[in-house]
Amino acid sequence: MRLPSVQTLRAFDAAARHGSYSVAAAELGVTHGAVSHRIRELEDRLEMSLFRRVNRRMVPTREAVTLLSQVRQALATLDRAFPAPAPAQSVRLVVSVHPSLAVRWLVPRLGGFTAANPAVNLEVRSTADLDDFLDPGVDLALRYGAGGWADASDERLAGEVLFPVCAPTYRDQLSIREPADLARCVLLRHAWQPWSPWLREARLKLEEPRPGPTLSDSAMIVEAAASGQGVALARRLFVQGDLISGRLVRLFDIEVEDGYAYHIAWRTGSKLSEASLAFAAWLRAELPLS
């Protein structure tokens, strides 16, 4: 059987990553129809369906998921064998990211990207406002949320789980040993991250905490917990380093999946540059998949 073209395999890979033929087309610099044609051509060749529509997304079938791992290995081998030529001069890449995500996770890892992409002149802009994170001049944004932002295309990178953490001294002072012990603790409040889903998962009949200050930033919640002010419901990505160092301790094995996820986003209708694609690929490798 004649092998599919590399362009067809890249279209298959991009469509699976984005869950959208249109977004895949924007990444590859082709039309929606071209991606659709290549997927249909591959399905006819293999005599199987590769995608099914679920709401507004194109979801890979079970057969496609199996094939996808092999295709990505093959594409990675080709990319290593035929690396893209280095650009003659540096290129500028502007990435927008929420301040807390930048400080708690992105910035400590940027050295890995810059070492692998020395020709990319990276600028990270710290932007908390959801209305302007794709201001003119921004090439790509790393955001945490539900996706589907106005005037933006986005790709989901990874989900998150939530679990309670506190300072080890706070745990020992209040003798926190089981979930019921949280009834005598200060549960730190996040403005848009309620405790209710975790409390239900833990089968605790506790109400959403009301006394005390409300903090609107995940990094502030983590710092409040680390300073011994109470128990925080933390995102896994934000506390990995603190758990390893012992600055924070995780309470219990109970966790709950968050409804939000990490996304990359770009202006609808814009074609991603080679530098943007390189940064997106680096993020996919760095973020834990879930």
In a domain, 15, yes or no: yes
Task: Work out the average pLDDT over 148-167.
Answer: 90
For residue 153, the Cα-to-chain-centroid distance in whole angstroms is 14
**Residues 152, 271 within the same domain:** yes
Task: Work out the average pLDDT over 162-170.
Answer: 97
Instruction: Give the pLDDT band (50/70/90) at residue 241.
Output: confident
Within 10 angstroms of residue 53's Cβ, the number of other Cβ atoms is 9
Instruction: Give the pLDDT band (50/70/90) at residue 178.
Output: very high
The pair of three-digit structure tokens given for residue 86, joined into one six-digit string: 């280095």
* Three-class DSSP category at 267: strand
Where are the extended beta strands (E) located within the chain? 51-54, 57-60, 91-97, 120-126, 140-145, 152-166, 189-190, 214-215, 232-235, 249-250, 256-267
Domain that holds residue 168: 160-258
14 neighbors 271 (Cβ within 8 angstroms) = no
Angstrom CA distances, 261 to 113, 123, 197, 236, stand at 22, 23, 16, 12
The set of residues, in sequence order, having a beta carbon less than 8 Å from that of 290 and lying 6+ positions away, is 158, 159, 160, 161, 257
Task: Work out the average pLDDT over 217-241.
Answer: 92
In a domain, 1, yes or no: no
The pTM score is 0.65
- Measured distance CA(164)–CA(233) in Å, rounded: 4
- Measured distance CA(136)–CA(157) in Å, rounded: 23
The percent of residues above 70 in pLDDT, for the chain, comes to: 94
Q: How many domains does the chain have?
A: 3
CATH number of the CATH domain containing 19:
1.10.10.10
**Model pLDDT, residue 224:** 94
Task: Work out the average pLDDT over 136-152.
Answer: 87
- Taking only the tens place, the pLDDT of each residue in 70-92 is 898 888 888 888 876 655 578 99
**Model pLDDT, residue 183:** 93
- Domain-terminating residue out of 81, 99, 130: 81
286 neighbors 128 (Cβ within 8 angstroms) = no
- Taking only the tens place, the pLDDT of each residue in 22-66 is 888 878 888 888 889 999 999 998 989 999 988 778 889 988 888
**Residues 155, 264 within the same domain:** yes
**Residues 74, 37 within the same domain:** yes
**Residues 146, 201 within the same domain:** no
**Residues 32, 110 within the same domain:** no
**Residues 249, 211 within the same domain:** yes
In a domain, 61, yes or no: yes
pLDDT, the chain, mean: 88
**Model pLDDT, residue 97:** 92
pLDDT at 168 over 90: yes
The percent helix, strand, coil of the chain (3-state, each to 5) is 45, 25, 35
pLDDT at 128 over 60: yes
- Domain-terminating residue out of 16, 47, 81: 81
pLDDT at 288 over 80: no
In a domain, 137, yes or no: yes
**Model pLDDT, residue 169:** 96
Q: Identify residue 142 by its one-letter amino acid code.
A: L
pLDDT top residue among 228 and 83: 228
Instruction: Give the pLDDT band (50/70/90) at residue 240.
Output: confident
**Residues 127, 166 within the same domain:** no
The set of residues, in sequence order, having a beta carbon less than 8 Å from that of 254 and lying 6+ positions away, is 163, 179, 198, 201, 202
In a domain, 127, yes or no: yes
**Residues 167, 243 within the same domain:** yes
CATH number of the CATH domain containing 209:
3.40.190.10
232 neighbors 165 (Cβ within 8 angstroms) = yes
**Model pLDDT, residue 290:** 41
- Domain-terminating residue out of 81, 103, 127: 81
**Model pLDDT, residue 108:** 86
Angstrom CA distances, 111 to 37, 104, 115, stand at 40, 15, 6
Give CA torsion, residues 43, 67, 57, 155, to 10 deg. Answer: -130
Write the DSSP assignment of 226-255 as a string of letters: HTTS-BEEEEHHHHHHHHHHTSSEE-SS--
**Residues 252, 276 within the same domain:** no
- Measured distance CA(83)–CA(79) in Å, rounded: 5
- Measured distance CA(197)–CA(260) in Å, rounded: 13
In a domain, 212, yes or no: yes
In a domain, 86, yes or no: no
In a domain, 97, yes or no: yes
pLDDT top residue among 104 and 256: 256
Furthest-apart CA atoms within the chain: distance in Å: 69
- Taking only the tens place, the pLDDT of each residue in 245-278 is 999 999 999 999 998 899 999 988 888 899 999 9
**Residues 276, 225 within the same domain:** no
**Residues 225, 164 within the same domain:** yes
Task: Work out the average pLDDT over 102-106.
Answer: 88
**Residues 204, 135 within the same domain:** no
The pair of three-digit structure tokens given for residue 203, joined into one six-digit string: 């089968």
